[in-house]
A and B are shown apart, each in its own frame.
Chain A
Amino acid sequence: AQTIHQWPVAEIKAVGSPLSLGCTIKGKSSPNLYWYWQATGGTLQQLFYSITVGQVESVVQLNLSASRPKDDQFILSTEKLLLSHSGFYLCAWRRTDNQDTQYFGPGTRLLVL
């Protein structure tokens, strides 16, 4: 069975500080991976997607970057946090067979002060 983990569970960070959020998926080789951001009370906004190691595509510009250093790992980061970065960050993987289903991780709650 596939499992998806995100770390940390929650963070409180200062404006201007760096950030690194991680996501790993076990039990699935070469998954399509996604990062989403959900502002409090807001919709889900897709940030990045990656279909293979070392390749990341940006969907929206929010002063964030992403990398996929390993087949099962997806990292979201920034060198300088903004207040607007607060929210809920979700990693997801997608089955690439006919099921076309996304599975979301447990998420990371970020509060920027």
Chain B
Amino acid sequence: GDSVTQTEGLVTLTEGLPVMLNCTYQTIYSNPFLFWYVQHLNESPRLLLKSFTDNKRTEHQGFHATLHKSSSSFHLQKSSAQLSDSALYYCALRNTGNYKYVFGAGTRLKVIA
């Protein structure tokens, strides 16, 4: 079945440094949707980014990600971390025509002053 791998459980960064959270996926289908969701403490997840198009950068709220089908990756990046970015980040996959979503284990980002 489909799977999403987020290798880092916890990433701790100093404010102002760049952010990169890894996401790779496995699916037998050729046209997956990839998503990044962010969940702040005691809140519900909300969509941060999504992509369907190969090699096209998508951006939102200072974060960006590019879907690379050749490497099955959708890494999340930001040029400069802010204290308010501290949260749990989930990478997720859904295949076209499918109602099932598969989430990665999540990466907790902790930004310190």
Query: B-contacting residues of A (Cβ < 8 Å)?
Result: 32, 34, 42-46, 49, 51, 57, 59, 90, 100-107
Contacts and interface: CB of A to CB of B under 8 A. Distances in A.
B101 to A, nearest CB: 5
Interface residues of B, number: 19
Contacts of A103: 46-47
Interface string B49-81: 010100000000000000000000000000000
Q: Which of B44, B45, B104 has the most CB of A within 10 A?
A: B44
15 contacts: A32-B99, A42-B105, A43-B104, A44-B90, A44-B103, A45-B103, A46-B102, A57-B99, A100-B33, A100-B94, A101-B47, A103-B46, A104-B44, A105-B44, A106-B44
A76 to B, nearest CB: 16
